A and B are shown apart, each in its own frame.
Chain A
Amino acid sequence: MGLLMCPPAHYGIEYEINPWMSTRRQSDPQRARSQWSDLRHILQHRLSLQVEFIDAVAEQPDMVFTANAGLVWRHKFIASNFRHEVRRGEVPHFIEWFRRRAFEIVRLPDELFFEGEGDLLACGDVWFAGYHIRSDVLAHQRVAEIINAEVLSLELTNRWFYHLDTCFCPLDAERALYYPPAFDRYGQEVLQSRIAELIPVCAAEAQRFACNAIVADNAIVLNEGCPEVRQRLQQLGFTVHETPLDEFIKAGGSAKCMVLTIT
């Protein structure tokens, strides 16, 4: 498993595009850098994952959340079409990074919003896609054609959980964490019917971004302060690595948001 990360060199709360963000509640740049480095250290040295890096770009504070840059499918990079203008400037930089590494670049029609792996997660053979708040349902159907896989779109109904990766986390082909109130009843029904063991996360830990976890085989990395989820995962046989990421929660992101799966 290979991951793409972007250092938080230009990270900060410079606009408000989700309820977590407040320009009056700035992040501490030094703490942010240190938390990001700790996460990187766990991934590279404790989990021995291959991590690659893209340079941070001035005036693109959210580039640190690489999961939203697009979706990597084999040799293709399906670039995001951000809903908010303020993030669209990230796209050419990611495209350039992938182009240099000989990926085939795929663009969706401009009118279809798509926010990459943030709204698209595989659980076994089936992909689940979050739509309505950020990505468009029609964008996911385009992606389904490109990757030739089943993509089940789930409406996200709680603006605090605006990307699928903030309220849903596949653990393996049969198990996943989720925060039920982030979905409507159709979405909940789809998840229940398609995932053998669906583990609900309580409100307090969902707000600590328990679902925004990085899963690498048996190991799971997530924000600290999610004791119930940690215990449940340990019972299931996972090794849990907790690391403080509250500087990034100020922007509505956590562990999973900061990595994009590239292999």
Chain B
Amino acid sequence: MPRSVVHISGHIIDSLILPKILDIIISLGAEFQILDIHIGQRRADRSSARVQIDVPTEESLQQILAKVKEHGALPLDTEDEVVRFEAAPTDGIFPGDFYATTNLPTLIRLDNQWVEVEHPEMDCGIRVLPQSRRAETVPMHRVKKGDFIVIGHGGVKIVPMERHVPREPFEFMSSSISTEQPKGLMIREIADSMIRVRAAQGRILVVAGPGLVHTGAARHLIELIENDFVQVLFAGNGLAVHDIESALYGTSLGVYLDKNIRASEGHEHHLRAINAIRKVGGIRQAVKQGLLQRGIFYSCVKKGVDFVLAGSIRDDGPLPDVITDTLQAQEAMREKVRNVSFALMMATTLHAIATGNLLPATVKTVCVDINPAVVTKLCDRGTFQAVGLVTDVEPFLRELSQYLRQGDNPADARQ
């Protein structure tokens, strides 16, 4: 089948030139595949795309090439193009002109064969292992002197998310962030997705902020953990501290959660909680010794949920489980996001964005926050697959756990 690759660049997204060219290709009876696309960050920045066109006859190929050229698509002969790579000059430094990754599935052309890049992650380089014919993403700080790193764009293609996937519930919510959407329906779809992931033995990642404890939503998260809807939990010192404070003292930031009144000397509770856990050596030890008998982290330990606590500059204590070296924390998170197929981020900005940076675009991602800017920021930083829900986390989790409970019998859930 005749084939050609065209290159389109400029302000092709907002001018709808790219969709127009794709429509022209389809309308002339051909098929296209976007080999790669680079989207400018600022309005003045240019975008570019390489589009492969497959047509039934050579004659129609020439006709299509002439037509799309009028709209700025110029033919490229890339079939023979192989990926180029260069040795890293020193530890932690990529060669100049290194290929910067997206979070989309990516392939490189190595010895006339397309090889899939392992562990797609945005803003990394691609390390090539020519002898084993493998390639993997590598963050800048992990590159070692002499590692072969892909340079330029030739011989690299990314697989965009499907344009015409069969309609599935999640599609309904795709790409929109709004405070005006019917939340009930969206929450039910999130529940349905989580039920499907659990049924398929997939892994669900929860990223949560301490607001979850302050608002009294912890009990719903505990229910999710107890019912095997959480396999991995990412948080900071805060969530664990206030969860443990609540388990030991019944307060969160010194306020009784059941009575909504301030405890005497309550502001010290979280410090005493930290001290108690530090004394026994960590959260797991506290559970083992019977010091910690309830709460989110108690359930995590009991159910074998993997958790990573990443520290920050404002932490009290911190708890011994908190990883205070940011690169080490990033590595621990990177390790744990592998094989995750659903991510639910709630009431946290920094941890949500940090996690978004590590997730491949194929992981369905839901971000729940009372502040719309958090959701927007997550998408703006490249986690474009994220679906946003602007709401307080307590009613969200309450409703989600209710649907998950009903979801054991799908017929009931649809009532």
In the complex, what distance in Å separates the CA atom of A129 from the CA atom of B46?
15
Instruction: Tell whether B59 is near chain A: CB-to-CB under 8 Å.
Output: no
In the complex, what distance in Å separates the CA atom of A141 from the CA atom of B18?
14
Q: Which residues of B contact A196 (CB under 8 A)?
A: none
For chain A, residues 127 to 154, give those with C-beta under 8 angstroms from any C-beta of chain B: 132, 136-138, 140-141, 144-145, 148-154
**By the criterion CB–CB under 8 Å, are A148 and B44 in contact?**
yes
**By the criterion CB–CB under 8 Å, are A137 and B44 in contact?**
no
**By the criterion CB–CB under 8 Å, are A137 and B17 in contact?**
yes
Instruction: Tell whether A125 is near chain B: CB-to-CB under 8 Å.
Output: yes
For chain B, residues 329 to 379, give those with C-beta under 8 angstroms from any C-beta of chain A: none
Instruction: Tell whether B16 is near chain A: CB-to-CB under 8 Å.
Output: yes
Q: Which residues of A contact B74 (CB under 8 A)?
A: 138
Kindly identify which residue among B20, B43, B44, B46 contacts A141, using a CB–CB cutoff of 8 Å: B46
Instruction: Tell whether A99 is near chain B: CB-to-CB under 8 Å.
Output: no
Q: Which of A65-73, A84-92, A186-194 contacts B (4 or more CB under 8 A)?
A: A186-194
Number of interface residues of B (CB under 8 A): 16
Kindly identify which residue among B10, B19, B46 contacts A186, using a CB–CB cutoff of 8 Å: B19
**By the criterion CB–CB under 8 Å, are A150 and B11 in contact?**
yes
Give the shortest distance, in Å, between B205 (CB) and chain A (any CB).
Answer: 35
In the complex, what distance in Å separates the CA atom of A189 from the CA atom of B14?
10
**By the criterion CB–CB under 8 Å, are B10 and A137 in contact?**
yes
Give the shortest distance, in Å, between B38 (CB) and chain A (any CB).
Answer: 14
**By the criterion CB–CB under 8 Å, are A194 and B72 in contact?**
no
Instruction: Tell whether B71 is near chain A: CB-to-CB under 8 Å.
Output: yes
Instruction: Tell whether B258 is near chain A: CB-to-CB under 8 Å.
Output: no
**By the criterion CB–CB under 8 Å, are A186 and B11 in contact?**
no
**By the criterion CB–CB under 8 Å, are A189 and B44 in contact?**
no
Instruction: Tell whether A126 is near chain B: CB-to-CB under 8 Å.
Output: yes
Instruction: Tell whether B15 is near chain A: CB-to-CB under 8 Å.
Output: yes
Interface 1/0s, chain B 10-42, versus A by CB < 8 A? Answer: 110011110110000000000000000000000
For chain B, residues 32 to 89, give those with C-beta under 8 angstroms from any C-beta of chain A: 43-44, 46, 70-72, 74
For chain A, residues 141 to 196, give those with C-beta under 8 angstroms from any C-beta of chain B: 141, 144-145, 148-155, 184, 186-187, 189-190, 193-194
The answer to whether residues A141 and B16 also contact, given A150-B43, A150-B44 and a CB cut-off of 8 A, is: no
**By the criterion CB–CB under 8 Å, are A152 and B46 in contact?**
no
The answer to whether residues A125 and B72 also contact, given A186-B19, A190-B15 and a CB cut-off of 8 A, is: no
In the complex, what distance in Å separates the CA atom of A125 from the CA atom of B14?
14
In the complex, what distance in Å separates the CA atom of A169 from the CA atom of B6?
33
Q: Which residues of B contact A155 (CB under 8 A)?
A: 20, 71
Q: Which residues of B contact A140 (CB under 8 A)?
A: 10
In the complex, what distance in Å separates the CA atom of A190 from the CA atom of B17?
10
In the complex, what distance in Å separates the CA atom of A12 from the CA atom of B65?
39
Give the shortest distance, in Å, between B40 (CB) and chain A (any CB).
Answer: 9
Instruction: Tell whether B406 is near chain A: CB-to-CB under 8 Å.
Output: no
Give the shortest distance, in Å, between B19 (CB) and chain A (any CB).
Answer: 7
Q: Which residues of A contact B9 (CB under 8 A)?
A: 141
In the complex, what distance in Å separates the CA atom of A246 from the CA atom of B17?
35
**By the criterion CB–CB under 8 Å, are A149 and B20 in contact?**
no
Q: Which residues of A contact B71 (CB under 8 A)?
A: 137, 155
**Residue of chain B at shortest CB distance from A139:** B72
**By the criterion CB–CB under 8 Å, are B72 and A138 in contact?**
yes
In the complex, what distance in Å separates the CA atom of A126 from the CA atom of B11?
11
In the complex, what distance in Å separates the CA atom of A152 from the CA atom of B11?
6
**Residue of chain B at shortest CB distance from A128:** B15
Q: Which residues of A contact B11 (CB under 8 A)?
A: 141, 144, 150-153
Q: Which residues of B contact A153 (CB under 8 A)?
A: 10-11, 15, 17, 72
In the complex, what distance in Å separates the CA atom of A32 from the CA atom of B43?
43
Q: Which residues of A contact B15 (CB under 8 A)?
A: 152-154, 186, 190
In the complex, what distance in Å separates the CA atom of A5 from the CA atom of B139?
58
**By the criterion CB–CB under 8 Å, are A186 and B16 in contact?**
yes
In the complex, what distance in Å separates the CA atom of A138 from the CA atom of B17?
11
In the complex, what distance in Å separates the CA atom of A151 from the CA atom of B47?
12
In the complex, what distance in Å separates the CA atom of A148 from the CA atom of B93?
30
In the complex, what distance in Å separates the CA atom of A189 from the CA atom of B43?
18
Q: Which residues of A contact B43 (CB under 8 A)?
A: 125-126, 150
Interchain residue pairs A-B with the least CB separation, the first 8: A141-B10, A152-B15, A137-B72, A186-B16, A150-B43, A186-B20, A153-B15, A138-B72
Binding site for B on A (CB under 8 A): 125-126, 132, 136-138, 140-141, 144-145, 148-155, 184, 186-187, 189-190, 193-194
Binding site for A on B (CB under 8 A): 9-11, 14-17, 19-20, 43-44, 46, 70-72, 74
29 of the cross-chain contacts (CB-CB < 8 Å) are A126-B43, A132-B70, A137-B17, A138-B10, A138-B72, A138-B74, A141-B9, A141-B11, A144-B10, A144-B11, A145-B46, A150-B11, A150-B14, A151-B10, A151-B11, A152-B11, A152-B14, A153-B17, A153-B72, A154-B15, A155-B71, A184-B20, A186-B15, A186-B19, A186-B20, A187-B16, A189-B16, A190-B14, A194-B14
Supply 15 further A-B pairs (C-beta < 8 A) apart from A153-B15, A189-B16.
Answer: A137-B10, A137-B72, A138-B74, A141-B10, A141-B72, A149-B44, A150-B44, A151-B11, A152-B11, A153-B10, A153-B17, A155-B71, A184-B20, A186-B16, A190-B14
